[in-house]
Structure 1
């Protein structure tokens, strides 16, 4: 029996289920970086020194006098969490595919859903390369940065469950859209700069890992400077919203970006002043994920794709015509 026929037998996902799958996707993709930071700050990056096995000859941790047991299990648990993320990604695809069967116009929704498992597989491969490269700082940076587009795409997927598939109608002027593009580029520039600070910082994931040979003070200044530029551009975007009298929903999304970005800036400043304590590193990584979420949320809130048509199953007649075609 074709896979499409099997999926068609599944119950049609309710609006609540669609939203739950979308939210779970955002949480799962955002959580990848946070759990990875826990591995790094606890020095557990090589608790499983090989990949895809944990140790040569075993997929699971085994006693090794040269490896701390706790660090073995921290790293192994992080790998196992990838399984949970894959389950969420698979649910996103199944949900979107089941919707497409009843509503053939929802192809964009399925494309966005497929980026979830595709991205997770890419992340797993990059994680393996990072381990095999003994946690070289630039491989850790690439591994983290690869997760950031997944968070953005998960937010787009969540929005897609709630909207239609008409051509996007901008809700801000053309200049405002250009400013928003610049804001998005700056967001990733801030993230990239942050990985260089991490690369030169004290938390490498393993005491024998090579670090970025650059003055961390200068790198931190560049990182914070880019955040300030991001905030300036965000203020300019606010002027564009005032110019067109943006809707309340857009202003709410805009306010969330300010709140999260400022909180992230304060957290980073305090973290640096206190000597980069371990727990604050993971909170800072969580903050970076939240900055992506709120920026993507603002992005999706500045255009309209029409009303959602897939909250409920298609009428029986429509389903029969679709099957016949």
Structure 2
């Protein structure tokens, strides 16, 4: 007698999407730890850790352990991504958008691994490191999107809730968040935390880049504050108001951390918190954009009843 296999549910895909979000945020944090501890070349080659082993050895010391640990997190991400993709394909009813998102997150893992390898092989080229970070932040945004697409009403079509200009303002806020994170990474690439004592820097003036970064931060906070005020004045859904308020609060905390780290000589802990804040900002801005679209029920034709049921009804 065969054993019937239970088909996975969208609730399971939703939980896996949350796991993907958590692990991608964690990857940003551990990547920062690699740089801040000077462990960027703890494993001096790739894909091996050194010329003789794929795993770290005692000769590589603590730096090898830290760098190898960050590499191992990639395998955790891969397991979560594969499980998410397989489950999204197997679940019914089918959702093409969710499957494509799960596929994109899965493909992002080897892309990140290759970028990590190029980072090592180029001896921590700051522009490659920047690309590595931005790829992680985009995976965070994609994970938030998949969480939304697999939520309580995964089979419903989105409908815009805000007027066109306000919807564009929300999109602009997300674009400013990404620009702010990019410039923050450029500042880091010109500063002291290179990941290794011999790693090259961008050659850009750190003070000028920090000022440019701060200017964009002020613009972002101002635009987000305007969005919060407009949302309070208009009859927008409470979820949008809460998401805008949350984003503004995160921006203020992130800005405070940025000022503290700048005026205290860039202590490692403050920089690590700032990197974590960048991932949370991207997640919050993506969430804000998603709250501006309501899930509208789809019209699904009723399934035909068996002939016997139809006759009984007569």
Same fold flag (TM > 0.5) = yes
Which one has a bigger Cα radius of gyration? Answer: 2
Structure 1: distance between partners of 2:30 and 2:284: 20
Shift of 1:61: 1.8
Deviates more, 1:157-166 or 1:276-285: 157-166
1:312 alignment partner in structure 2: none
**Structure 1 unaligned blocks of 5 or more:** 1-7, 310-314, 318-325
Q: Does 1:25 align with 2:20?
A: yes
SS of 2:195 mapped into structure 1: coil
2:291 alignment partner in structure 1: 301
RMSD: 2.1
Shift of 1:22: 2.1
8 Å CA contact 1:43, 1:204 repeated in 2: yes
8 Å CA contact 2:38, 2:195 repeated in 1: yes
SS of 1:168 mapped into structure 2: strand
Shift of 1:38: 0.2
Q: Does 1:61 align with 2:56?
A: yes
1:89 alignment partner in structure 2: 81
Equivalent position to 1:145, from 107, 131, 134: 134
2:115 alignment partner in structure 1: 126
8 Å CA contact 2:40, 2:67 repeated in 1: yes
Q: Does 1:49 align with 2:47?
A: no
Q: Does 1:217 align with 2:199?
A: no
SS of 1:116 mapped into structure 2: helix
Structure 2: distance between partners of 1:24 and 1:126: 22
Task: Summarize deviations over 1:196-232 as a string: whole Å, max 9, x none.
Answer: 1101111100000011222211111111110111112
Structure 1: distance between partners of 2:226 and 2:53: 55
Deviates more, 1:125-134 or 1:244-253: 244-253
Equivalent position to 1:75, from 67, 71, 75: 67
Shift of 1:19: 3.4
Shift of 1:167: 4.2
Deviates more, 1:211-220 or 1:235-244: 235-244
8 Å CA contact 2:232, 2:241 repeated in 1: no
1:238 alignment partner in structure 2: 228
Deviates more, 1:197-206 or 1:298-307: 298-307
Alignment of 1:175-324 (within 5 A): 175-242=165-232, 244-307=234-297
Structure 2: distance between partners of 1:216 and 1:225: 14
Q: Does 1:13 align with 2:9?
A: yes
Structure 1: distance between partners of 2:269 and 2:228: 34
Distance 1:279 1:174, change over 3 A: same
Structure 2: distance between partners of 1:224 and 1:79: 32
Instruction: Kindly report structure 1 stretches of 4+ aligned residues shifted beyond 3 Å.
Output: 8-11, 163-167
Q: Does 1:110 align with 2:96?
A: no
- Say which structure, 1 or 2, has more relative contact order (CA 8 Å, 6+ apart): 1
User: TM-score, normalized by length of structure 1?
Assistant: 0.86
Distance 1:243 1:164, change over 3 A: farther
SS of 1:305 mapped into structure 2: strand
Structure 1: distance between partners of 2:129 and 2:44: 15
1:322 alignment partner in structure 2: none
Count residues with an aligned counterpart.
298
Structure 2: distance between partners of 1:190 and 1:46: 27
